[in-house]
Structure 1
C-alpha cells in the first residue's frame, strides 16, 4: 500500500460509489413495477457515478482530463432524474389505462357519469 493520502481518498470515493451503484442494481432487480424502480434507477445510481467520478478526479487531479469527468457528472445529474420522471409518467399512464392502478376509478366513473348525463339531457 502507498502512503499517498490522495490514493486512499480516491479509493474510498470509488468504493462508496461502487457500493451505491450495486445497491441501485439490487433495487432494480428486487422491486416489482416500474414506478417502484424509478427511485433506484435515478438517485443512488447517479450519486454512485458522481462519487466514482470524484474519486477518479482526486486521483488524476493535475491532468487535463478533469474537465471531461466534470462534464460527465453534470450530464448524469441533469439527465437521470428527468428520464426517470418521464419513464414513471409513461408507466403510470399505461397502468391506469390497463386497469392495474384502480385508485382513480371512482373519479373516472364520476366523470363518465356526468358526461353521459350531459349527453342525455336536451
Structure 2
C-alpha cells in the first residue's frame, strides 16, 4: 500500500511540475500578451493543485491539508483576477493584438464610454482670470 501511494505521489508531483513548466515555456514562447496571460494562469493553477495533492498524500497528516487548501484557494482566486487586470490594461495600452481576437467585447464597452458625455466635471478657473483679482 505504501508503494502504491508513493507512486501516486510521484505521478502527481511530476504532472504538477510539468504543468508549471508548460506555463513557463508558454510565457517565453507565445507571441502576444493575451496568449501569454492564458499560459501564466491556466496551467499554473492546475499544476499547484497537483503538487499540493501530492504533498498532502506524501505527508499523510490531516493538519497540513487545510493549509494546502487555503494556499491553493488563494492561488485560484488571485490568478484570474491578476490576468484580468493585466489583459484590460494591455488592451487599453494597445499591447494586445486586436486583429487576432475572435470576439472583441471590450471594444464595445470602451466605445460606449468614449461617446457618453462627461459628467461631474468642474471647470477650472485660472488664477489670473478669477473674479475680484486686480491686475498689478
Please report the TM-score for the alignment, with normalisation by the length of structure 1: 0.74
Structure 1 runs, 4 residues or longer, greater than 2 Å off: 100-104
Q: Which residue of 2 aligns with 1:41?
A: 40
Q: Which residue of 2 aligns with 1:56?
A: 55
Q: Give the deviation of 1:23 after TM superposition.
A: 0.6
Secondary structure of 1:32 counterpart = coil
Q: Give the deviation of 1:47 after TM superposition.
A: 0.6
1:46-83 Cα deviation digits (max 9, x unpaired): 11111101110111122412221111111111110111
Looking at both structures, which has the greater relative contact order when contacts are Cα pairs under 8 Å and sequence separation is at least 6? 1
**Unpaired runs of at least 5, structure 2:** 116-136
CA distance in 1 between partners of 2:18 and 2:55 (Å): 15
Q: Give the deviation of 1:33 after TM superposition.
A: 2.1
Please report the TM-score for the alignment, with normalisation by the length of structure 2: 0.67
CA distance in 1 between partners of 2:2 and 2:84 (Å): 44
Secondary structure of 1:4 counterpart = helix
What aligned pairs does 1:7-86 form with structure 2 within 5 A after superposition?
Answer: 7-86=6-85
Decide which structure has greater helix share.
1
Look at both structures and tell me which one has the larger radius of gyration over its CA atoms.
Answer: 2
Quote the RMSD (CA, aligned, Å): 2.8
Q: Give the deviation of 1:3 after TM superposition.
A: 5.2
- The size of the alignment, in residue pairs, is 105
